[in-house]
């Protein structure tokens, strides 16, 4: 399946399930968010990107920790749900995670929860994440265990030249990796 067709199918699925997404995934997503945030601290002036932000479940956890939080997703209906959680310092952007409309090296931290398994080329997505991350910035990415066995996930991160600083999977359906770009 071609990249565009794959993404269009995923976008359509999220557009159709936007209103019920939280009922299905709220508990698991919040568990991933808590696992990631328990080891991280944030400078109050930081800029954060939530790539594939979905319904904005990260927003309540981060709105007081970041100067600016950008939520990016390509599903129009999912962004309508995210808007309900948005605050003054949260900007919503509708765009493709592989082709973000941002300059190089602008974000102190980039979160990508439950995104990679939906992307036709996860390595390409990781390259885009690195491009928009500041040197030394933190990249927090998850991978569903059923889509990426542990070693496959770690190898993909290494091949993308990401240093894994921490990996969590405590009773979760996915892995949570805290990374930073090499060099």
CB atoms within 10 A of CB 114: 20
d(C-alpha 145, C-alpha 76), whole Å: 27
Residue 12 DSSP label:
H
Mean pLDDT rounded to a whole number for the chain: 95
CB atoms within 10 A of CB 164: 16
CB atoms within 10 A of CB 173: 14
* Phi, psi angle pair for 114, to nearest 5°: 50, 45
* Contact between residue 84 and residue 19 where contact means Cβ atoms under 8 Å apart: no
CB atoms within 10 A of CB 33: 20
pLDDT, residue 30, reads 95
Non-local CB neighbours of 57 within 8 Å, separated by 6+ positions:
22, 26, 29, 30, 33, 85, 113
- By residue range, what is the domain housing residue 55? 3-181
pLDDT higher than 90, residue 182: no
Residue 142 sits in a domain whose CATH number is 3.40.50.150
How many domains in the chain? 1
CA angle 62, 33, 85 (to 5 degrees): 45
Q: How confident is the model at residue 169 (pLDDT cuts 50, 70, 90)?
A: confident
Report pLDDT digits (tens) over 8-66: 999 999 999 999 999 999 999 999 999 999 999 999 899 999 999 999 999 999 999 99
Structure tokens given for 165: 């600083």
Long-range contacts formed by 64-67: CB under 8 A, 24+ apart = 66/42, 66/109
d(C-alpha 87, C-alpha 48), whole Å: 14
């Amino acid at each position: 399946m071609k990249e565009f067709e794959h993404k269009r199918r995923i976008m359509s699925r999220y557009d159709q399930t936007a209103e019920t997404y939280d009922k299905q995934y709220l508990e698991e997503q919040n568990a991933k968010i808590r696992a990631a945030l328990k080891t991280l601290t944030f400078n109050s002036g930081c800029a954060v990107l939530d790539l594939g932000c979905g319904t904005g479940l990260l927003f309540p956890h981060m709105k007081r920790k970041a100067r600016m939080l950008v939520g990016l997703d390509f599903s129009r209906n999912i962004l309508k749900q995210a808007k309900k959680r948005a605050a003054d310092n949260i900007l919503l952007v509708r765009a493709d995670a592989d082709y973000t409309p941002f300059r190089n090296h602008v974000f102190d931290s980039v979160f990508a929860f439950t995104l990679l398994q939906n992307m036709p080329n996860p390595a390409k997505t990781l390259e885009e994440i690195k491009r928009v991350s500041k040197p030394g910035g933190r990249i927090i990415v998850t991978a569903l265990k059923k889509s990426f066995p542990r070693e496959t996930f770690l190898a993909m991160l290494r091949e993308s030249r990401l240093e894994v600083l921490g990996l969590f999977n405590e009773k979760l359906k996915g892995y949570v990796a805290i990374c930073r770009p090499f060099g």
